[in-house]
Amino acid sequence: MTDKRPTLTLKPKAKPARTAASQGGGKPRPAAAPAQAEASKPAQATAPKPSYRPSAERAAARSAPPAPRDTARLRPSHEVKVAPQRDYRPDLKADSLALSLLGAANAVARVRGGSALPQALSAVFGAYEVTPQARGAIQDIAYRTMRQLGRCETLLGLMTSKAPEPPMLDGLLCAALALLDPPQGGQPPYEAFTVVDQAVTAAASHPDFAHAKAMVNAVLRRFLRERETLVEQALKQPLARWNYPQWWIDSTRSAYPQDWEAILTAGNAHPPLTLRVNRRRLDVAAYLEMLRAAGFDATQVGPSAVRLAQAVNVSQIPGFHEGLVSVQDAGAQLAAPLLDLADGMRVLDACAAPGGKSGHILETAEVELTSVDADPARLARVRDNLGRLGLAATLLAAEAQEGGWWDGRAFDRILADVPCTASGIVRRHPDIRWLRRKSDTLQLATLSSKILDNLWQMLLPNGKLLFVTCSLWPQESEAQAAAFAARHDALRLDAPGQLLPASGAGQDHDGLFYALFQKKAA
């Protein structure tokens, strides 16, 4: 018997519009080649519970708001809600845009379920057994969609009567809209008719929403017909204009009344690929010459920092596998020099994963380094990164706010890169804005204060502790630093303080915060 599922309806315009069936169109061309992969994203910590409720935000664009998607709804007794088949392997060509769109939609749905985007993508790659080319295209589309999710959801709210279900269908429509509606000044990576054709093909290939392929076609074709009007209407909503939850917009405006718009805009930009040159092995000028000889355009943006003009996969970076360079933001490269390291020191890198700062510490001086992280899986990444560099440290899987792992030997230097909302690195991790809740700021600040207090007792008199956070919120940065100094009568030394996301000649960094403290001698 044919499975007839209910489908959502298209929301009509004020005046009747032509139906999708009346629209002409030439024969679809073959799918374009997948977009280039977004290179070398740093790993994220375990994802927090999601705060983003797309249908709640959409309500502002509808005259009759639907029930929130995360609110239980009564269903007819004969209707059985089947669990989504996220691991279903579609019968699509490995190099097709349809497969890339479906993979990105799968990743977006997983993020909405609470997974961090890197973990979501890893699950998709494993389920689909995709080629390297397809991996790059899926990743590129997923990151594009995360950066434009608020705008895409608002546009869908203007064109549909309720939130598309299951979540993968919603993710597919958002991924297609992200390709059809690039940020201002951006060029569409694919022809519009190719995106529509391949999105319909993707929908038809999945048993959970094959019945909705006509709706996918109608929604996307309507967007192309009415783009100017729909975008103008959508941009009246802050969610669509800025692509952040309202609480995030409000928090940024409150903290930085003069710079909030520039900060939000910077967080939506595609991040650069910045490298740290291992100056134990060669100097920056020599490495720039190596890049030029290999056909790469690059610029020095810090003492050890080199920014590539075009992001590439790490496997293509000259000297990467040999340990000559590491991928690390220019702002994060300030940590090791601020520690004022010297050979023979005993140093602690707390909350060390994925190991970029540990590697920089060992490149800077011959020290006895202990790297601690609460997540054993992420600690393995520290081991891998140090192994690639030919360096070694004592690695401990432990909670930095606890003391049972400490052997009682005090440290000369401590790097405390504490947990935070990561609001300063959102351009690299666009899923963070949709996963975080406003209450996370206070909870993480409380945890960070416990970590700092615990680590302080492990520091030698006259030793230095560097407090680092990748947050823009004062509760996690400056207010935290001031409260810590007051609690422990710590001497505060010169440090950059709050760095706002910046790009340009001589600088290019994420939004990090630095505060340096020295323990007074007894």
- How far, in Å, CA of 115 to CA of 435, rounded? 8
Q: From the candidates 152, 174, 420, 470, give the one annotated as an active-site residue.
A: 470
Rg (CA), the chain: 25
Torsion of CA 243, 247, 250, 255, to 10 degrees: -110
Tell me the C-alpha to C-alpha distance, in Å, between residue 210 and each of 112, 163, 179, 199, 203.
Answer: 21, 17, 21, 11, 5
- How far, in Å, CA of 411 to CA of 389, rounded? 24
DSSP H or E run through 274? strand 273-277
Chain length of the chain: 522
- How far, in Å, CA of 514 to CA of 522, rounded? 26
- How far, in Å, CA of 221 to CA of 227, rounded? 10
Residue 120, annotated ligand binder?
A: no
Residue 354, annotated ligand binder?
A: yes
How many CA atoms lie less than 13 Å away from 511 in the CB half-sphere? 28
Residue 420, annotated ligand binder?
A: no
Residue 351, annotated ligand binder?
A: yes
DSSP 347: E
- How far, in Å, CA of 202 to CA of 279, rounded? 48
Residue 357, annotated ligand binder?
A: yes
**Omega of the bond prior to 166 within 30 degrees of 0, cis?**
yes
Residue 417, annotated ligand binder?
A: yes
Cβ neighbours around 26 below 10 Å, total: 6
CB neighbours of 45 closer than 8 A, spacing ≥ 6? 116, 353, 375, 378, 419, 422
Residue 162, annotated ligand binder?
A: no
Tokens of 364: 């800077």
Residues pairing with 134 in the sheet: none
Residue 343, annotated ligand binder?
A: no
* Burial call 54-63: b when 16+ CB within 10 Å, e when fewer: bbbbbeebee
* Contact (Cβ atoms closer than 8 angstroms) between residue 221 and residue 196: yes
- How far, in Å, CA of 441 to CA of 476, rounded? 7
Residue 174 annotated as catalytic: no
Residue 4, annotated ligand binder?
A: no
- How far, in Å, CA of 110 to CA of 123, rounded? 9
3-state secondary structure of 405: coil
Angle formed at CA 137 by CA 135 and CA 141, multiple of 5 degrees: 120
* Contact (Cβ atoms closer than 8 angstroms) between residue 452 and residue 484: yes
Task: Kindly state the greatest CA–CA separation across the chain.
Answer: 84
229: exposed, middle or buried (Cβ count in 10 Å: 0-12, 13-18, 19+):
exposed
392: exposed, middle or buried (Cβ count in 10 Å: 0-12, 13-18, 19+):
exposed
Binding site members? 351-357, 373, 417
Binding site members for S-adenosyl-L-methionine? 351-357, 373, 417
**Active site residues per annotation:** 470
